[in-house]
Amino acid sequence: MQKIPDFIEIYNDNGKLIAEKVHLEKLNPIHNRAIRKILYEIKRTAIINLEKIEKSLRTGELGGEFCKMPHYSIPNIAIVDNAEKIRERVERLISTSNDDGRVEVLNKGRQLLVQIPMNMMEVSADYTAASLIAGSAVVQAIVEEFKIEPIKAQAVSTAVFGRYPSTIEFKGGAITSALTSPLRLEHLGYGWRAIQSNVIVAIANRNAMKAATLAGCFEMGYLVNSGNLIGRYKRLYLLGFAYECLNAGNLVYSTVKTMGKNGTTGKVLCEILTRALNDGVIRPKEKLPSGFVIYEPIDIELWNAYAAAGMLAATMVNCGAARSAHGVSSVIVNYNEMLFNETGLPDVEFGRALGTGLLLDFLTHALYGGGEVGIMNANHPNLKSSKLFIMPCVAAATALDAGTLTYPPEKTAGIFSQIFKNVKEFNNPIESIVEAALEGGD
pLDDT of the residue at 181: 87
Regarding whether 269 and 364 lie in a shared domain, the answer is: yes
Last residue of a domain, one of 177, 199, 221: 177
Domain membership flag for residue 1: no
pLDDT of the residue at 290: 95
Domain membership flag for residue 40: no
Domain membership flag for residue 338: yes
Q: If DSSP codes are grouped into helix, strand and coil, which group holds residue 48?
A: strand
Domain membership flag for residue 192: yes
Cβ-proximal residues to 185 (8 Å cutoff; 6+ apart), any chain: 191, 193, 194, 379
Helix extents (H) in 226-351:
234-240, 251-259, 265-278, 300-322, 328-343
Regarding whether 169 and 194 lie in a shared domain, the answer is: no
How far is Cα 430 from Cα 39, in angstroms, rounded to an integer?
A: 15
State the first-to-last Cα distance of the chain, in angstroms, to the nearest integer: 30
Write out the DSSP string of 215-247: HHHHHHHHHHHTT-SSGGGHHHHHHHIIIIIS-
Q: Give pLDDT < 50 ranges for the chain.
A: 1-4
Reported as a single tens digit per residue, the pLDDT across 385-415 is 999 999 999 999 999 999 999 999 999 999 9
pLDDT of the residue at 3: 47
pLDDT of the residue at 369: 60
How far is Cα 280 from Cα 52, in angstroms, rounded to an integer?
A: 59
Last residue of a domain, one of 151, 177, 203: 177
Regarding whether 344 and 322 lie in a shared domain, the answer is: yes
Which amino acid, residue 361?
D
* Count of domains for the chain: 2
Regarding whether 102 and 166 lie in a shared domain, the answer is: yes
Domain membership flag for residue 37: no
Catalytic residues: 368
Regarding whether 250 and 394 lie in a shared domain, the answer is: yes
Reported as a single tens digit per residue, the pLDDT across 255-274 is 999 999 999 999 999 999 99
Regarding whether 257 and 153 lie in a shared domain, the answer is: no
Cβ-proximal residues to 127 (8 Å cutoff; 6+ apart), any chain: 43, 121, 177, 179, 191
Regarding whether 311 and 168 lie in a shared domain, the answer is: no
pLDDT of the residue at 179: 94
Domain membership flag for residue 326: yes
Last residue of a domain, one of 177, 197, 226: 177
Domain that holds residue 141: 45-177
pLDDT of the residue at 1: 40
pLDDT of the residue at 370: 60
Regarding whether 208 and 164 lie in a shared domain, the answer is: no
**CATH number (domain holding residue 132):** 3.30.70.470
Regarding whether 221 and 302 lie in a shared domain, the answer is: yes
Regarding whether 173 and 79 lie in a shared domain, the answer is: yes
Burial 230-247 (b: 16+ CB within 10 A, else e): eeeebbbbbbbbbbbbbb
- With a pLDDT cut of 90, the percent of the chain lying above it is 86
Domain membership flag for residue 291: yes
Regarding whether 386 and 292 lie in a shared domain, the answer is: yes
Regarding whether 193 and 171 lie in a shared domain, the answer is: no
Reported as a single tens digit per residue, the pLDDT across 69-110 is 888 999 999 999 999 999 999 999 999 987 789 999 999 999
Domain membership flag for residue 399: yes
Reported as a single tens digit per residue, the pLDDT across 349-361 is 999 999 999 999 8
**CATH number (domain holding residue 278):** 1.20.840.10
